[in-house]
Amino acid sequence: MEKSLASVPGKNGRSSSKDAVALLRADHRQVEKWFEEFQNARSIDRKQSIAAQICAALRVHTMLEEEIFYPAFLAATSATEMHHEAIIEHAGAKKLIAEIETANPGDDYYNARMAVLAEMIRHHVKEEERPTGMFAAAKKSGMDLVDLGRQLRNYKQELEAKAPAASRQDAAA
């Protein structure tokens, strides 16, 4: 799932395509693209395939943030309110992801669940990426975003390697 990352300012103002914020932003852009594809898909099978891609990607992304990025962010910034809000947003998204993964794509509420998940994720991304959001605060904090990016990439590869074969096939589609 990892795409080439856009070059963005890194630690000390240097441009880096390898820092943590760039990696997380690239994930955001990929999932946004898939939500759009889901919305435009006509067949139930295609919708289910895209939904599986989205859910798998969001599971990995939330683990990267919760287990690596957020703890480092909290330690560097002490921004507890921002951290706590992000964790609560993740909890809501994970609940909805679990419902989507067990739902039948022909269910009357399937598309509604995906629409609500898309809105939740858009809100979460907006909060993280706004000029006063988590990513901006992380850059200002002096966190070693390049090293954190390396940790995120390594963990992402590990998580994706453990994903069920069906999820990996869907992600390659």
List pLDDT tens digits, range 3-16: 333 333 333 434 34
Provide the pLDDT confidence category of residue 17 given band limits of 50, 70 and 90.
Answer: low
Average pLDDT of the residues in 153-157:
95
| CA-to-CA dists, residue 74 to 58, 71, 82, 86, 92, angstroms | 21, 5, 9, 11, 21
For residue 146, pLDDT over 60 is answered with yes
Q: pTM surpassing 0.95?
A: no
Q: Within 10 Å of residue 112's Cβ, how many Cβ atoms?
A: 10
Q: What is the mean pLDDT of the chain?
A: 87
Residues 51 and 105 sit within 8 Å (Cβ to Cβ): yes
Q: What is residue 85's predicted lDDT score, i.e. its pLDDT?
A: 97
Could you state, in order of their start, the residue ranges of all structural domains in the chain? 16-172
For residue 90, pLDDT over 60 is answered with yes
In percent, the amount of the chain with pLDDT more than 70 equals 84
For residue 166, pLDDT over 80 is answered with no
Residue in this structure with the two tokens 């441009």, named with its chain if needed: 15
Please name the residue ranges forming H helices in the chain: 20-40, 44-64, 70-77, 80-102, 110-129, 134-141, 145-162, 165-172
Average pLDDT of the residues in 64-86:
97
Q: What is residue 138's predicted lDDT score, i.e. its pLDDT?
A: 97
Least confident of 39-43, 52-56, 81-85, 158-162: 158-162
pLDDT, greater one: 109 or 18:
109
